[in-house]
Amino acid sequence: MQQQGQFAVLQVTPALDAGGVERTTIEIAEAVTRAGGRALVASRGGRLEGELADVGGELVAMPLDTKNPLAILANIGRLATLGREARVSLIHARSRAPAWSALFAARRLGVPFVTTYHGIYNGNGGLKRFYNSVMARGDLVIANSDYTRAHVMKVHGVAADRVVSIPRGVDLARFDPAQVTPERVAAMRHLWGVAANDGRPIVLLPGRLTRWKGQAVLIEAAALMEKAQPGAALYVLAGDSQGRAEYVADLHELARKSGVQSCVRIVGHLVDMPAALAAATVAVFPSTDAEAFGRAAVEAQAMGVPVVASALGGLAETIVDGESGLLVAPGDAVALAAAVKRLLALTPEQRQAMGATGAARVRARYSVGALQVATLAVYERVLAQKGARDRR
């Protein structure tokens, strides 16, 4: 990258609360500052603001978490003003509504526009497809998996040389089982209401509480497992509900009707994800829609935890069926129950061997460092292209 003081990157994202988009935003802010640049993030902000500051990033508070057309128009001016004052070199958008503002701000400023296609968006209807298309309008488009890259090219007709696949990265220092103390694991189990003498295996579903993440499928699978073998496991559904109170209530009611309310724990946002994974015997990811990448499944493998996941999208890339975990048909509670039972039936040594296979693969393919280097290379590429155009 250019020398210090010569480049500034503006990332645009709705909020900084939780999730892969937010985490990747912070990781790239860290890479930019390490490379000697200025890392600006325009966002409503949220619980990860402190982490952004810790890596040298600068939050510029803006109402970018709105889909109101008038607010989107107003945000064009706000971003353009910020870009002009900060002498921004490029703008990197990570979500659709703010991306529309960022696109026009970048064009107004004459700077490169980069997007990261983080999710597989619902494209029913022409208006929705047009709304989604902004994420494919970058001078370069970053896809967070090969699955997502193929989707961008097929759905939006983007040329192959404009779409770069850069998998999300895992903080391998943080997600290292050797760094998680028994005290942290005990604290997590206590938080979940698990007695110290409760020896039941823990089946953990870490992911925000939303229907397509498949929490209901796990509850149905738990009912099947408990019917066949009472006390088979504890089932922990952990994640931020992001205000979906009705869905959380539906999950509690499903657990009650299924007769598994005593062994299902529905808990909130996980601050200490490594400890949660260290407390788990098996991690499950029964998504009913395709994950564009599926970061939590990679984090679980980094911690040496065998996984069961839906054979969909990015999950099918990051998990090797039969080696680092098991893949099952999406939405199939019977298949999910059978796969979880299969892993629980393994000896501790067999599960440890499967976990070690997954951890080695993650360390070889999915590090934060690799993500950062590849993203900085994208920035260099679009800046070089702009420089070549300016010299003509």
Confidence of residue 120 (pLDDT cuts 50, 70, 90): confident
Residues 209-250 have pLDDT tens digits of 999 999 999 999 999 999 999 999 999 999 888 889 999 999
Domains of the chain: 8-169+367-391 (3.40.50.2000), 177-365 (3.40.50.2000)
| pTM tops 0.75, yes or no | yes
The phi, psi pair for 308, rounded to 5°, reads -125, 130
Confidence of residue 1 (pLDDT cuts 50, 70, 90): low
Q: Considering only CA atoms, which of 88, 150, 82 is closest in space to residue 113? A: 88
- Helix, strand, coil percent values for the chain (each to nearest 5): 50, 15, 35
Instruction: Provide the pLDDT for residue 83.
Output: 97
Residues 130-140 have pLDDT tens digits of 999 999 999 99
- Flag whether pLDDT at 5 surpasses 60: no
DSSP letter assigned to residue 160: G
> Rounded CA gap, 16 and 242, in Å?
12
For residue 178 the two structure tokens come to 């050797």
- Flag whether pLDDT at 173 surpasses 50: yes
For residue 65 the two structure tokens come to 């978490």
The phi, psi pair for 41, rounded to 5°, reads -130, 115
> Rounded CA gap, 254 and 273, in Å?
26
